[in-house]
Amino acid sequence: MWRRLLFIVAAGLLAVSLLVALGVVPVPPLRESSDTAGPSGATNPPPTTASPPSPSSPPPSPAPTAGPPVLAVKVDNAPVARPPVGIGAADVIYVEPVEGGMSRLIAVFGSHKPPVVGPVRSARETDLRLLPQFGHPALAFSGAAPELLPRVRSSPLRSVSQDRVPRAYFRGESRDAPHNLFVRPAELPPGGRWAPDARLEFGPAPPGGVSDGSHTVHYTSATMGFDWAPQQERWLVSLDGRPFHAADSGRLSPSTVVVQRVPVVNSAITDVLGNPSPVARTVGEGRALVLRDGRAFEARWSRPAPEAATTYTTPSGQPIPFAPGQVWVVLAPAGR
């Protein structure tokens, strides 16, 4: 009986094979699944490959990168403190109003830091709002009013004052205190890197401008003069009507000067003589004059927040780049 059953099954299989071979019984074709099972058993769509960019598509812009570590030094420019040392190597020099209608300098270094800078003087309230546009720069200064020191410590600036890093400072023998304090930048802790948005933009001058071979900015008790030198393609700096030299680099001569008109108010802090400490408000917007290539360009400055960079544009909104070289920014009281 088993032999008979096996014979019948074998005969049936053989018959089916013959029918398939003859095309009588169709066999559905194999189809590759378009879905793949995920870890939980759910189906996932097949992986896709990104289409190559079109040859006519512009390449993506590289992300801006931070620059070198930034060091800002408060520099004395009183008559008895001249000539300064090291500031000819600064990328940017700010002139700010201080007590008694005088001015003081802030030398900002990034690409090159000289062996010695000075004379170093005290920090001001203006510095705490002006310098964060560079990121977290190191600020070298001799001291500050007691009311201001807590604000310096809580600001985005990295304090590298004489009190904090005494080994980096020394007193010169050729001048009297307090105008004889100098700093060695190489012995200071580094500041934060130059913020990408605050990098200096150099390029050709925009069309327009008016010829201006000489320009003077007046403070109550001081003047800053800039005379165009065509052969050097620089503005020669004068202070209180006298040529302003650095002891190590000669006549100070920026390629671009920005006269930035800012509101100036008196703070509650006073100096030892009772003069109120002025504060230049550098966040906001206002008028400016950009001097480059022997011409003056009417401009607008804008800085929406302390951490934002200051921009300078023509009245129509076109950016005004700087001429290659050192840049001076004179914070001048608005309305003068």
**Is residue 100 one of the residues assigned to a domain?**
yes
Res 4: pLDDT: 46
Which contiguous run of DSSP H or E holds residue 276?
strand 276-280
Do the domain assignments include residue 171? yes
Asked whether residue 51 is assigned to any structural domain, the reply reads no
Per the CB < 8 A criterion, the answer to whether 198 and 311 are in contact is: no
Task: Output DSSP code: residue 297.
Answer: E
Domain count, the chain: 1
**What 3-state class would DSSP assign to 94?**
strand
**Residue 266, in any domain of the structure:** yes
Any domain includes 130: yes
Instruction: Enter the tokens of residue 277.
Output: 């400490």
Residue pLDDT, tens place only, 24-81? 334 333 333 333 333 333 334 444 444 444 444 445 556 568 799 999 999 999 999 9
- Residue 11 falls within a domain, yes or no? no
Task: State which residues form the domain around 267.
Answer: 71-333
| Residue 25 is assigned to a structural domain of this protein | no
CATH number at residue 129: 3.50.90.10
Domain assignment of residue 43, yes or no:
no
Give the CB-side neighbour count of residue 214, counting CA atoms within 13 A: 4
Amino acid, single-letter form, for residue 300:
R
**Considering the entire predicted model, what is its pTM?**
0.81
Instruction: Per-residue pLDDT tens, the chain, 336 aa: give them.
Output: 444 433 433 444 434 343 334 343 343 333 333 333 333 333 344 444 444 444 444 455 565 687 999 999 999 999 999 999 999 999 999 999 999 999 999 999 998 999 999 999 999 999 999 999 999 999 999 999 999 999 999 999 999 999 999 999 999 998 999 999 999 999 999 999 999 999 999 999 999 999 999 999 999 999 999 999 999 999 999 999 999 999 999 999 999 999 999 999 998 898 878 888 999 999 999 999 999 999 999 999 999 999 999 999 999 999 999 999 999 999 999 976
- Alpha carbon distance 110, 127 (integer Å): 17
Q: Please give the backbone phi and psi of residue 185, each rounded to the nearest 5 degrees, phi first.
A: -55, -35
